[in-house]
Chains A and B, each alone.
Chain A
Amino acid sequence: MADEVKLFGVWASPYSRRVEVALKLKGVKYEFIEEDLSNKSDLLLKYNPVHKKIPVLLHNGKPIVESLVILEYIDETWKGNPILPHDPYQKAVARFWAKFLDEKCFPALRKAFSSKEDEQEKAIEEASELLKILENELNGKKFFGGDKIGLVDIVANFIGFWLGVIQEAKGEELLLTHKKFPILCKWIDEYVNCSVIKENLPCQR
């Protein structure tokens, strides 16, 4: 019986993109259903009644929600090109960094770019501290996952792609400079050039 895989998402959302990267990495065929977040579909509300958010993965009719939960589900269901390490300790380390990115980094980065002028300096400083932590974690490795991209790299897609785009749109290098974060910038280059990622970059609208 062929697998039926659908993904409810939004083209501009890093959370829905990260699920697409994982599916593409595993060679899983899926149907992408674009949601209008200002007018959520009945199906979305039915499959994610608790949070009413995207992404929602539907596998043979069964919904899985929350992007980190979805990524683990994908890794456990389709075994090729593993996203998580096999060793329990390395797995725990990867999960720790994934949560750090989602719970600390992204909110701080969003704040840094959306703060008003008087609050922006402080917001940028706080975001810089967090990027420094990531820079130190990467030190010596091509990707957070080692030689190949893994969970943490996939989750860090906001930094991998969106940050550069946002800075370009704002017309200046506010936060992520080559001088301050040489290792992180090198990671971004490697990441963006990784073929599976290349196919998943939303065009810079």
Chain B
Amino acid sequence: MSKEEVVLLDFWASPFCLKVKIALDEKGVAHEGREEDLFGGKSELLLKSNPIYQKVPVFLHNGKPVCESTNIVGYIDETWPSPPLLPPCPYGRARDRFWADFIDKKVFDAGNKIWKTKGEQLEVAKKDFIEILKQLEGALGQKDYFGADSFGFVDIIAIPFTSWFYAYEKYGSFKVEDHCPKLSAWMKRCMERESVAKLLPDPEKVYEFVIMFRKMNGIE
């Protein structure tokens, strides 16, 4: 049987790429990661494989590209079914897809507004961000993970964005733990998982990246 070729066009700070890396690790699928230079010049392969968005992550399975991070995680779950990330029943799957969609549409944009704004706008951004996290706490309920019984699809979609929380806390002068203790507990629980512990980037480094990015874009 010929060896499978699994490649990920990656960027270390990207929570979108991290979702894919965690999913692959949870499935025990080896892959070749290729770090893209997003500021210096995107690779030919990236531009060819994702011509519409020209963004990472791009997942290449035996040369065939899959784009959009949550879509990639879904593909990985269906291609390597064990252990399953989504529950078996359609209703549970629909619930998980709903929360994945909610997280994708809300968390990163709301959090990033905190370091992009000042004064009154920053306070509004903080309030909106915390409100979104509280809604996630509602989804978590009394469970240990977003997945019905165990770490699963929604946990993999959500945990990468938490690597940026330290940066938001620094710029917003607040702590997520003070407002969302349940979510904080969930974050700590996820960090005990081997895949998350070894793959989540150092939040200090992400904070430094945000500082650099702000400077680069003239945000004061």
Binding site for B on A (CB under 8 A): 50, 59, 62, 64-66, 68-70, 72-73, 76-77, 88-89, 91-93, 95-96, 99-100, 104, 133
Contact = CB atoms under 8 A, between A and B. Distances in A.
Given A88-B75, A92-B71, A76 B52 contact: no
B142 interface: no
Contacts of B72: 92
For the complex, would chain B's binding face be called helix, strand, loop or mixed by DSSP majority? Answer: helix
B93 A100 contact: no
A126 B135 CA distance: 35
Contact of A73 (B61, B66, B79, B94): B94
Contacts of A88: 75, 78-79
B93 A76 contact: yes
Best-buried of B61, B75, B135 by chain A (most CB within 10 Å):
B75
Contact of A92 (B52, B74, B102, B135): B74
A57 to B, nearest CB: 9
Interface string B56-91: 000001001011100110110011000000000011
Nearest to B64: A89
A92 B67 CA distance: 8
Contacts of B78: 88, 91
B135 A72 contact: no
A72 B66 contact: no
Contacts of B208: none
13 contacts: A68-B101, A72-B94, A73-B93, A76-B93, A88-B79, A89-B64, A91-B74, A92-B71, A92-B74, A95-B71, A96-B71, A99-B71, A100-B52
A73 B68 contact: no
B52 A133 contact: yes
Contacts of B90: 73, 76-77
A92 B93 contact: no
Nearest to A89: B64
Nearest to B72: A92
Contacts of B91: 59, 62, 64, 73
Nearest to B81: A88
Nearest to B97: A69
A65 B75 contact: no
Contacts of A72: 93-94, 97
B213 interface: no
A197 B74 CA distance: 29
B66 A66 contact: no
B98 interface: yes
Contacts of A100: 52
Interface in B145-159: none
B94 A89 contact: no
A89 B93 contact: no
Given A91-B75, A93-B66, 18 more contacts: A50-B102, A50-B135, A59-B91, A62-B91, A64-B91, A65-B98, A66-B101, A68-B101, A72-B94, A73-B90, A88-B75, A88-B78, A88-B79, A91-B74, A92-B71, A96-B66, A99-B71, A100-B52
Given A62-B91, A64-B91, A72-B93, A92 B98 contact: no
